[in-house]
Amino acid sequence: MPKYDDASWHYGGDFPKDLPPENGATHIGFFITWCIDNDLVSDFQLEESAEDVQRVKERKMTGRDFLLQNCDEKFTDEDLNDLGNSFAQDYYEEDGRFAEQHADYLSDYQTAFEILNQQLDKKLETIYHIEDSEDIYEGIKIILDERFKQWKAFAGIA
């Protein structure tokens, strides 16, 4: 079971001491929300976590909370369907074929953080300080929508 990301990779080590550990999962949660919105979630998750998948779609639960409660803080290939895994392997992973030519998710997330920081009166210290909110997700969604469109062209998918 290949693992794309794990919240514990982020809240260990140099993680800001003033933040709760769940902030290490915010960026993963945004990606999972986008995958749920775009029907890229696995049959396993649709069966095992159907109510929470629906809650994410209805914005009654965040993707971060979904990751923490339904995925044991780990984002793996078990969470996505075949199309979702193909995209994640090429884009979420920094050494993916698509990522090497365009960008990977964490690089795009870092760019979004820098843009957000330019817009705020009080600057955020790290990407982990990004709020797990619908407004922030909507900005990330624009990036993910565009990358998915580029990836489908790259992969020859109509």
The C-alpha atoms of residue 146 and residue 34 are separated, in whole angstroms, by 12
The percent of residues in the chain predicted with pLDDT above 70, rounded, is 99
**What's the domain count of the chain?**
1
Per the prediction, the chain carries an average pLDDT of: 95
Task: Give the residue from 101, 106, 152, 134 showing the smallest Cα distance to 10.
Answer: 106
pLDDT-derived band of residue 14, with 50, 70 and 90 as boundaries? confident
Range of the domain at 127: 3-155
Q: What is the pTM of this model?
A: 0.96
The pLDDT tens digits for 19-46 are: 999 999 999 999 999 999 999 999 999 9
Taking the C-alpha atoms of residue 31 and residue 123, their distance in angstroms, rounded to an integer, is: 23
